[in-house]
């Protein structure tokens, strides 16, 4: 653990300098040159150039056919251009670092301005509204109520919603009551400076934090208050000899890179600086991805070097035999000019050598002569072509999204891989859907209701058998119209309930869970049912939809949220303004699959401790979590109907606690929150302890509409022969319904569902899953298993209900994440499930975790031979794993943050743009660059072939047919036709490809550069020679 004293900077730890540049003046050349010569061709020409230099300057060893400058000169030119481009990019990084590090902040050193880079851990700093947080800082005080502050973390995680941060000193706000003016802040801090200097050891608070890590949503620490504060505090704080210990969590931490919003100023103690900050800890480069075309190009280079070696061996052998043989008329016939020697009587005859060079000397000479088999300019040409193709993607208006003002942005040079995609792995929420949540259905008691497309709560209009929502809330009584006849309390939109009847008990609890169980805060603008002048800012669209509907539709309006709790304005016959104290929040995690909030009701309601909880149905309807009353409510059948409509469901529950139960749990919760080691694990255990004996009050169903043209895009990609796997965290019924609506599934498909049945889920059901399938009978599945496994496939019975097999025809595999966890780590089971999936036209994996998404991508890459080119597309942080694992990662600029975009190779605004990116740009780019590679080898093979044939006429002496600079210039002037062909060639127009997506097949199957195609170009070059 790290220990800091407030106000005392620790100069033994790293400063706050941010460095994003890669190089310095001293290491630029060594590092960049080393990177350039990792390329096989560059190293090849460097070696050839050294051999030329030895032959030129030491002719007694062997004769060089060309000057070394003819090879090293162009090589130096191309490498220098690459170094220049790298240097310009790094200079921009240095400039941005300078601006960032020299920004002025007020630091508690006589309250003078200090540059950001000079901030140290332990400093007390002042941050003003809309300023960026300079370092990870613990919030101590602010201009907000009880020291609270709001931050925007869009630059960190892409989430534009505001997040509430709580002051660590909220219990001691009397000691930190500062005026709003900046002068008062300065006076207060200066006064504290003088007091601290008089008795620093006694008065200074001590901050203890965990070691730096990369988890932006977690933090563990504690603040030990000085005895003088705790002893004089009158609010009931526990004072000890060492002072009061205040546990710190992520709610107290202001992250570097976040922006202060809606708060005039804050004062905090710096906990992490520089490379210790969570932002720097997360600045890990994405794994380096090597283009598939680069791999093929390297293989082509190896082939050409083999051809070159064969020619060198042949010519060296012939040269050795020629020099050792006796001169005869036949072998001297090419030297016709010797017959008429001397031309002039006074010219002395040449000095004849009786012995020639040996085989090795001739081989070295021919290495220098035939180095043109490998094109020196090819990699440079490919770089220029790739950058231009990236520019074409960037300026393509057909991939511009007007709704989000987003353009397609290439972030990697692997554009050619887009033309070879065989598998697409896609997230659902925010990728196939809009991630714009809208409250659609609810289940309360024995009835369930819904709203129509206009949100008026009077039915759907689609023939679904449900009641208007407000009839369900009040026990299915009559709702008066907007004329307000009878005992009805209506608002401007006529949406509120009959006051004479009131709501049922479950309905009122249901609405309170909707309006209180969340982390939503208010921003300074008006929308979504928030008070005038404000808008709700939610960490997830689901929460925003629920709070907005509770406010607009049912009159439970969240007025404000601060450290005291949540204020509600209720338009029902109870109390108008309610203040609910928030005691603790148990955040959502993928293990529990639920979140809960412990609140204390207003004094008017008895000051009762209530746990409000919401989560996935699989987690909430567990017999160990909820009471048996849920079966009487019939909520499970309602959830099934909601899922059949493709809606996202949440189950809501409450638990009333006695004061003794609340105090005991709060004691364990406080202890867990104060621990630094394994805090998250302990907090999860505390949450699991209290989230029991829940009374289920209802369920909600939220609609997430499909993005524009998603079904059409998926159908087009399927015609192109690309397999699509949908990986989602939704329940199975919802995933299947979305599959049909997106045309991933069709009515003609036979669905094979693999669900988790606990310990009875074994190997045998998987082996028997397609036992009636003709592909299995032909050995396409069983042949992959070990010898002892096929016998089990015919002898063991199928576990009932674990697997639902399909028949003949198109098939689709539906598998749950809980079933996948039985497969991970078992190579045989992984191979088995893949071979089942490989026989399916479509695959949908539901209830999967981010790790399982990446595991499925890895599964396909590992088991398909040859390895297919995979593409993963998503929009959230939970998709980063599979984006990194796939050959090509696509990030969608959505509402779940920019982590996916930052980790991706390409970013787009909508899923439908995938058609343009793959079928048009991908196909064109792969064909263009393939032509560049083959054309480059062709032109160099022609000139090298001429040199081979010419040496038959020179007694294999290693003489060049062309001038040495003419040879070098050939790569230059023959470069332009190939360059323009690589940038602008189109063999088919976009309109034709749109009508006939099947033309993508040749590029998908990598038919453009194969052994047959390369041989054809070599034979063409031989014929040309």
What's the CA gap between 750 and 806, in Å, rounded? 5
Nearest residue to 39 (alpha-carbon basis) of 379, 317, 355, 548: 379
**Is 118 flagged in the annotation as binding?**
no
**Is 773 flagged in the annotation as binding?**
no
Torsion angle, CA of 539/286/901/591, rounded to 10 degrees?
Answer: -30
The CA distances from residue 984 to 320, 409, 497, 565, 619, in Å, are: 49, 20, 65, 62, 56
Element (H, E) at 656: strand 648-657
**Is 1001 flagged in the annotation as binding?**
no
3-state secondary structure 691-758: CCCEEEEEEEEEEEEECCCHHHHHHHHHHCCCEEEEECCCCHHHHHHHHHHCCCCCCCCEEEEECCCH
**Is 492 flagged in the annotation as binding?**
no
**Is 878 flagged in the annotation as binding?**
yes
Q: Is the separation of the CB atoms in 935 and 980 below 8 Å?
A: no
Alpha helical stretches, state H, 839-898: 850-863, 880-885
**Is 543 flagged in the annotation as binding?**
yes
> Which residue in this structure is represented by tokens 């050792």?
324
Give catalytic residue positions. 427
> What region, left, alpha or beta, does residue 277 occupy, with left being phi > 0 and alpha being psi -120 to 50 degrees?
beta
**Is 789 flagged in the annotation as binding?**
no
DSSP 225-275: --HHHHHH--S-----TT--EEEE-GGGEE-TT-EEES-SEEEEEEEE-GG
HSE-CB for 409 with a 13 A CA cutoff = 14
**Is 875 flagged in the annotation as binding?**
yes
The CA distances from residue 186 to 125, 180, 181, 189, 271, in Å, are: 11, 11, 9, 5, 21
**Is 630 flagged in the annotation as binding?**
no
**Is 428 flagged in the annotation as binding?**
yes
**Is 682 flagged in the annotation as binding?**
no
**Is 713 flagged in the annotation as binding?**
no
Where are the extended beta strands (E) located within 18-167?
A: 104-107, 112-115, 124-128, 136-142, 149-152, 162-165
Give 597's strand partners: 585, 612
The pairing of strands 811-816 and 842-846 is parallel
Nearest residue to 507 (alpha-carbon basis) of 700, 693, 698: 698
What's the CA gap between 701 and 706, in Å, rounded? 16
The angle, 0 to 180 degrees and rounded to 10, between the axes of the packed helices 292-324 and 359-369 is 140
**Is 780 flagged in the annotation as binding?**
no
Angle at 604 between CA 599 and CA 609, to 5 degrees: 25
What's the CA gap between 162 and 258, in Å, rounded? 10
Sequence-distant contacts of 959-965: CB under 8 A, at least 24 apart: 959/65, 960/65, 960/66, 960/369, 964/65, 964/66, 964/67, 964/70, 965/70
Tell me how far the alpha carbon of residue 101 is from its chain's centroid.
28
Phi/psi of residue 338, nearest 5 degrees: -75, -20
What's the CA gap between 448 and 652, in Å, rounded? 14
> Which residue in this structure is represented by tokens 């709580």?
166
- Cis ω before 866 (30° cut-off from 0): yes
Sequence-distant contacts of 456-465: CB under 8 A, at least 24 apart: 456/495, 457/495, 457/553, 464/645
Tell me how far the alpha carbon of residue 37 is from its chain's centroid.
31
What's the CA gap between 317 and 424, in Å, rounded? 53
**Is 161 flagged in the annotation as binding?**
no
Phi/psi of residue 185, nearest 5 degrees: -60, -45
What's the CA gap between 583 and 563, in Å, rounded? 10
Nearest residue to 729 (alpha-carbon basis) of 617, 810, 644, 826: 617
> Which residue in this structure is represented by tokens 């709704």?
403
- Cis ω before 683 (30° cut-off from 0): no
**Is 525 flagged in the annotation as binding?**
no
Task: Mark the binding-site residues, compressed into ranges.
Answer: 427-429, 543, 588, 614, 648, 728-730, 847, 853, 875, 878-879
Task: Mark the binding-site residues for ATP, compressed into ranges.
Answer: 427-429, 543, 588, 614, 648, 728-730, 847, 853, 878-879
């Amino acid at each position: 653990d790290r220990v800091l004293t407030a106000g005392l900077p620790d100069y033994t730890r790293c400063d706050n300098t941010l460095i994003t540049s890669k190089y310095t003046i001293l290491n630029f050349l060594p590092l960049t040159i080393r990177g350039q010569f990792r390329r096989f061709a560059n190293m090849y020409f460097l070696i050839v150039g050294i051999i030329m230099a030895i032959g030129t300057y030491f002719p007694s060893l062997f004769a060089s056919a060309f000057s070394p400058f003819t090879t090293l000169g162009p090589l130096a030119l191309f490498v220098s251009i690459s170094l220049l481009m790298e240097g310009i990019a790094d200079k921009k990084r240095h400039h941005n670092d300078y601006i960032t590090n020299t920004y002025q902040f007020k630091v508690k050193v006589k309250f003078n301005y200090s540059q950001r880079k000079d901030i140290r851990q332990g400093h007390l700093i002042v941050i003003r509204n809309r300023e960026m947080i300079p370092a990870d800082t613990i919030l101590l005080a602010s201009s907000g109520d009880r020291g609270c502050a709001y931050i925007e973390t869009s630059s960190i995680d892409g989430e534009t919603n505001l997040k509430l941060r709580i002051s660590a000193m909220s219990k001691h706000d009397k000691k930190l009551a500062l005026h709003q003016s900046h002068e008062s802040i300065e006076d207060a801090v200066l006064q504290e400076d003088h007091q601290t200097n008089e008795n620093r050891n006694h008065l200074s608070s001590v901050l203890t934090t965990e070691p730096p890590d990369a988890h932006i949503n977690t933090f563990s620490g504690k603040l030990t208050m000085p005895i003088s504060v705790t002893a004089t505090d009158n609010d009931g704080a526990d004072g000890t000899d060492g002072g009061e210990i205040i546990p710190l969590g992520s709610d107290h931490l202001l992250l570097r890179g976040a922006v202060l919003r809606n708060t005039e100023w804050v004062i905090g103690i710096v906990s992490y600086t520089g490379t210790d900050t969570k932002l720097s800890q997360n600045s890990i480069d994405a794994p380096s991805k090597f283009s598939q075309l680069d791999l093929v190009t390297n293989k082509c280079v190896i082939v050409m070097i083999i051809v070159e070696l064969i020619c060198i061996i042949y010519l060296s052998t012939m040269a050795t035999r020629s020099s050792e043989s006796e001169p005869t008329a036949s072998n001297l016939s090419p030297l016709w000019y010797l017959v008429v020697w001397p031309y002039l009587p006074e010219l002395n005859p040449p000095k004849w050598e009786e012995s020639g060079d040996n085989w090795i000397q001739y081989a070295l000479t021919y290495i220098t002569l035939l180095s043109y088999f490998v094109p020196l300019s090819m990699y440079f040409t490919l770089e220029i072509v790739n950058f231009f193709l990236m520019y074409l993607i960037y300026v393509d208006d057909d991939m511009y999204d007007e709704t989000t003002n987003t353009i397609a942005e290439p972030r990697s040079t692997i554009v050619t891989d887009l033309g070879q995609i065989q598998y697409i792995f896609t997230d659902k929420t925010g990728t196939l859907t809009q991630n714009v949540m809208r409250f659609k259905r609810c289940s309360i008691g024995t009835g369930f209701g819904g709203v129509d497309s206009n949100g008026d709560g009077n039915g759907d209009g689609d023939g679904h058998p449900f009641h208007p929502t407000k009839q369900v809330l009040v026990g299915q009584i009559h709702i008066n119209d907007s004329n307000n006849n009878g005992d009805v309390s209506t608002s401007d939109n006529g949406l509120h309930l009959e006051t004479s009847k009131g709501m049922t008990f479950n309905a009122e609890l249901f609405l309170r869970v909707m309006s209180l169980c969340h982390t939503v805060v208010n921003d300074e603008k008006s929308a979504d049912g928030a008070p005038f002048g404000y808008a709700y800012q939610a960490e997830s669209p689901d929460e925003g939809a629920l709070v907005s509907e509770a406010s607009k539709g049912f009159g439970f309006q969240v007025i404000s949220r601060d450290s005291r709790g949540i204020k509600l304005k209720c338009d029902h016959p109870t109390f108008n303004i309610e203040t609910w104290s928030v005691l603790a929040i148990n955040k959502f995690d993928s293990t529990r699959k639920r979140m809960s909030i412990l609140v204390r009701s207003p004094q008017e309601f008895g000051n009762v401790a209530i746990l409000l909880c919401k989560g996935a149905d699989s987690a909430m309807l567990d017999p160990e979590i909820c009471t048996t009353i849920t079966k009487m409510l019939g909520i499970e059948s309602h959830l099934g109907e909601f899922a059949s409509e493709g809606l996202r469901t949440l189950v809501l529950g409450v638990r009333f606690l006695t004061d003794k139960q609340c105090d005991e749990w709060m004691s364990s919760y406080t202890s867990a929150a104060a621990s630094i080691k394994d805090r998250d694990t302990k907090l999860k255990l505390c949450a699991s302890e209290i989230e029991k004996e829940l009374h289920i009050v209802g369920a909600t169903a939220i609609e997430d509409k499909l993005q524009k043209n998603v079904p059409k895009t998926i159908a087009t990609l399927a015609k192109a022969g690309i397999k699509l796997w949908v990986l989602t965290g939704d329940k199975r019924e919802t995933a299947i319904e979305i599959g049909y609506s997106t045309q991933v599934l069709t009515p003609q498909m036979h669905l094979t569902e693999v669900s988790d049945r606990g310990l009875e889920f074994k190997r045998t059901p998987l082996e028997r899953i397609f036992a009636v399938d003709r592909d299995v009978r032909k050995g396409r599945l069983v042949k992959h298993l070990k010898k002892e496994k096929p016998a089990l496939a015919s002898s063991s019975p199928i576990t009932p209900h674990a697997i639902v097999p399909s028949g003949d025809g198109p098939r689709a595999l539906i598998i749950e994440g809980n079933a996948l966890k039985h497969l991970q780590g078992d190579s045989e089971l992984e191979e088995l499930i893949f071979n089942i999936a490989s026989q399916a036209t479509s695959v949908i994996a539901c209830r999967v975790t981010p790790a399982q998404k990446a595991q499925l991508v890895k599964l396909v890459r590992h088991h398909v031979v040859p390895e297919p080119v995979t593409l993963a597309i998503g929009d959230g942080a939970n998709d980063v794993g599979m984006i990194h694992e796939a050959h090509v990662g696509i990030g969608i600029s959505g509402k779940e943050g920019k982590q996916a975009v930052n980790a991706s190779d390409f970013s787009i605004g909508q899923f439908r743009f995938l058609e343009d990116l793959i079928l048009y740009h991908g196909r064109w780019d792969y064909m263009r660059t393939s032509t560049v590679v083959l054309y480059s080898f062709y032109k160099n093979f022609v000139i090298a072939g001429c040199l081979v044939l010419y040496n038959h006429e020179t007694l294999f002496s290693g003489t060049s047919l062309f001038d040495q600079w003419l040879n070098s210039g050939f790569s230059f002037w023959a470069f332009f036709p190939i360059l323009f062909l690589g940038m602008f060639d189109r063999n088919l127009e976009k309109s034709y490809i749109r009508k006939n997506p099947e033309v993508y097949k040749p590029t998908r199957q990598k038919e453009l550069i194969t052994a047959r195609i390369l041989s054809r170009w070599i034979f063409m070059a031989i014929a040309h020679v």
